[in-house]
Amino acid sequence: MGQSKPYRAKALVVEDDPMQREMIGLLLEESEFEVIACESAEAAELVLQGNGDNVVLMMTDVELAGHMTGIELAYAAKKYRPDLDVIVTSGKPLRQRLPEGALFWAKPWAPLDVIRVAEMKASELSHRGWRRSS
């Protein structure tokens, strides 16, 4: 029988630009997160409805493919998971209010910022008893 892998926390990346989506995913994987990538808010909402219990961090652009914005997704995500860490990004000034606890990052943000947030979340999870993969 195969050896079971330690549980890995999941991060949801919602970005319609494939290069941005891949870069964010790689940065989060470097911090040992399992990444679920979506190009639309509608697809991300389905993830949150299905196995959202395992998602601990979500990073979304404001403007996405589909009819729903990243801000609308942030509100929906907080409804499903009030404790979910949410980061909303945009290259334009934010004109709408975000749900309580959500962060806004203006583009361009530094890749190191993603790593810092991921490492802080991983540290918080390890203090709660979640195991990181080796």
pLDDT in tens, 56-99: 999 999 999 999 999 999 999 999 999 999 999 999 999 999 99
Cβ(129)–Cβ(39) under 8 Å? no
pTM of this prediction?
0.89
CATH architecture label of 10-127: 3-Layer(aba) Sandwich (3.40)
Confidence bin at 5 (pLDDT 50/70/90): very low
Which H or E run contains 114?
Answer: helix 111-127
